[in-house]
Amino acid sequence: MNKTSAILSVAALTLLSSTAALAMGTNTYVGAQLGLTGQAGDNFNGENNFNLYGAMVGTTIRDNFSADLNFVNQGEYFHGMADVYFNHALSSNVTSRIGGGIGAIYFKSQDLANQDSETKFAYQGAVELEYSVNDTLGFFSGYHYVSYSSDNDNGDYANEYLFGMHYYL
């Protein structure tokens, strides 16, 4: 891992740990998610597979903003992110969310001889739609564009299509 990636990853993990303190708000939630993912980059374009799962904890900050910590495991990689969202109520039960976050992504070794696993700085943009069943349960669907530092100039990324639930404490 190069020096810039190490510094950015440490900064992201610091933000992740400090965001956990935000989860003590009045509208705290925990959640689980499943989804499809496809990796892409300069020299490859992965196919979409139903191979993603994750969990999150978050809270509403004021009326129109929320923040969460999330963890996603795709099989070949996993990442942890601290996200901030702008929330817009479309109706009494439906809310749209747009936001982004930073964190770290870890790639498992594909080379069994050298065991070359690596951790990189990552960031994401996200769009989600949530349907609130009641005051304690909501279901969401969304798209996350996850990009990470790479050795080439254009960067590599993953498209994550998610659905899941939030349970409000």
What's the whole-model pTM score? 0.78
Instruction: Indicate the helix (H) or strand (E) that contains 13.
Output: helix 3-19
Q: How many domains does the chain have?
A: 1
Interval 36-63: pLDDT, tens = 987 765 544 566 678 899 999 999 888 8
Interval 62-104: pLDDT, tens = 889 999 999 999 888 899 999 999 999 999 999 999 999 999 9
Separation between Cα atoms, residue 126 and residue 15, nearest integer Å: 18
CATH number of residue 157's parent domain: 2.40.160.20
CB atoms within 10 A of CB 59: 21
**By residue range, what is the domain housing residue 66?**
3-168
Interval 129-155: pLDDT, tens = 999 999 999 999 999 999 987 766 566
